[in-house]
A and B are shown apart, each in its own frame.
Chain A
Amino acid sequence: KNQVEQSPQSLIILEGKNCTLQCNYTVSPFSNLRWYKQDTGRGPVSLTIMTFSENTKSNGRYTATLDADTKQSSLHITASQLSDSASYICVVSDRGSTLGRLYFGRGTQLTVWP
C-alpha cells in the first residue's frame, strides 16, 4: 500500500532556532517528492520538489533532502521565524499513471514561539 508517514506530528520551537522534519514513504514507482507549507485555513503552497536523481533542494531557509534508497526525506528549516508556524506536508507522486497520483502525509504542525 502506498503510504507517506511524517514525524513528528507536532513541534514547538523558539524563534531563531533550527528544526528538521522527517518523511518516510512506501510509494512505488516513485516519481517525485515535494514539501508543501499549509498555513491555517489556507491551501498548501509548494516549497520544494525533488525527483529521483536530486538529493537536496533549497528554497531560502528551507532545505529538503531525499534518500531514494531508504525512501526518506527531511525538511530542514534554518533560523525559524514566527511566520514559519504552519503545517508542513510531505507529498509523494507516483509515475504509475498518467495522472501522477499524489500521496499526502498528515503533516507536521510547527509552532514557532517568540
Chain B
Amino acid sequence: EADIYQTPRYLVIGTGKKITLECSQTMGHDKMYWYQQDPGMELHLIHYSYGVNSTEKGDLSSESTVSRIRTEHFPLTLESARPSHTSQYLCASSDGRGAKNIQYFGAGTRLSVL
C-alpha cells in the first residue's frame, strides 16, 4: 500500500476561482510528479520535482504551478480555473533509485470547473 495522499478527491468549482490540489507522501521519496488524465486517455506528465526547491514542467503544457518546499509535500495550484481544466489529476512519487524507479500513485483528484 503506497503512502501517498491527495485531497480533495472531488472538487467542483466555478470559473475564475483559485484552487490548490494537495499531495503528500510519507515514504521520504525525492521525486514527485503530477499527471493529468482525461477519461479513456493516457496519463500526461505536467510537473515533476527532483527534490526540495526543484520543480520542472512536464510534457504537457499546463497553466498550473507547483511548489516543493518540503520533501513530503507537492501542491498544485490553478490561479484561475477554467472549464478546460476539468480533468483528473494524479500525483505520484518515487525514490528514483535503480533502473526500475517505481512510481507510486495517489488516488487522484477529479476536478470539474463549471
Contact = CB atoms under 8 A, between A and B. Distances in A.
A51 interface: yes
Contacts of B48: 99
Contacts of A99: 31, 48, 50
Interface size class, chain B: 20 to 34
Interface size, A (range): 20 to 34
Given A99-B48, A104-B42, A106-B40, A44 B100 contact: no
A39 B36 CA distance: 16
Nearest to A93: B101
A93 to B, nearest CB: 7
A42 B103 contact: no
A46 B48 CA distance: 19
A41 interface: yes
23 contacts: A4-B42, A32-B99, A41-B107, A41-B108, A42-B108, A43-B91, A43-B106, A43-B107, A44-B90, A44-B105, A45-B2, A45-B105, A89-B43, A93-B101, A95-B99, A99-B48, A99-B50, A100-B99, A102-B43, A102-B103, A104-B42, A104-B43, A104-B44
